[in-house]
């Protein structure tokens, strides 16, 4: 397994995620693809999960249209995707794409926290595209702040429904 892919193993099992956090089905049966999100605070992983495409869509569909537009707008305006993909292709090691925030480019060690996301296909291999990526908590907070209060509540409900422990207010948006 590549080092890049190892970042997205479950820390609990040290193996790839096997079930969707929401529908609890085995991932290859749940949908054609899934996303793994991990939230770190001061280099400690505070929340990690895999969510199948179907459940991810059902959560993000509960976001209002202006909120979806705000997320799209941030991703399009603050990230030079063409340049980023060129940068990533030029890396010596693929896992180096997680060394900096995809948007503001702050180095991972200098962040307060960050979110990692990767997209997997049904056979469990990584889909190489806009993901995998790392986004620093500052940039994620900017996106979260641009969401309508209802959409922020949708996200907080998702966290409190599916996770124990971390206060949902502390967990920045992870599905986009």
d(CA 14, CA 8): 9
Nearer to Zn ion, 53 or 67 (CB): 53
Q: Is 22 among the residues that bind Zn ion (CB under 5 A)?
A: yes
Q: Is 173 among the residues that bind Zn ion (CB under 5 A)?
A: no
Residues 97, 4: contact at Cβ < 8 Å? yes
Give the residue, chosen from 35, 139, 159, 171, that forms a contact with Zn ion under the rule CB under 5 A. Answer: 139
d(CA 114, CA 126): 20
Q: Is 101 among the residues that bind Zn ion (CB under 5 A)?
A: yes
Helix (H, G, I), strand (E, B) or coil at 14: coil
Size of the site for Zn ion (CB under 5 A): 11
Give the residue, chosen from 4, 47, 98, 103, that forms a contact with Zn ion under the rule CB under 5 A. Answer: 103
d(CA 68, CA 60): 8
Torsion of CA 17, 143, 137, 126, to 10 degrees: 30
Span from 17-25, 83-91, 149-157, 160-168 in contact with Zn ion (CB under 5 A): 17-25
**Tokens representing residue 144 in the block:** 């979260």
Nearer to Zn ion, 103 or 159 (CB): 103
Binding site for Zn ion (CB under 5 A): 20, 22-23, 30, 52, 55, 101, 103-104, 136, 139
């Amino acid at each position: 397994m590549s080092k890049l892919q190892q970042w997205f193993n479950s820390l609990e099992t040290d193996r790839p995620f096997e079930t969707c956090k929401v529908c609890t089905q085995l991932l290859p049966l749940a949908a054609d693809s899934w996303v793994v999100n991990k939230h770190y605070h001061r280099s400690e992983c505070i929340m990690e999960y895999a969510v199948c495409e179907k459940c991810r869509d059902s959560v993000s569909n509960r976001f209002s249209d202006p909120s979806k537009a705000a997320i799209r707008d941030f991703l399009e305006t603050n990230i030079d995707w063409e340049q980023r993909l060129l940068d990533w292709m030029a890396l010596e090691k693929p896992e180096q794409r997680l060394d900096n925030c995809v948007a503001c480019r702050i180095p991972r060690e200098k962040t307060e926290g960050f979110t990692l996301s990767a997209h997997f296909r049904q056979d469990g291999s990584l889909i190489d595209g806009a993901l995998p990526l790392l986004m620093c908590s500052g940039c994620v907070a900017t996106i979260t702040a641009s969401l309508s209060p209802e959409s922020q509540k949708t996200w907080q409900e998702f966290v409190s429904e599916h996770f124990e422990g971390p206060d949902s207010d502390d967990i920045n948006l992870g599905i986009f």
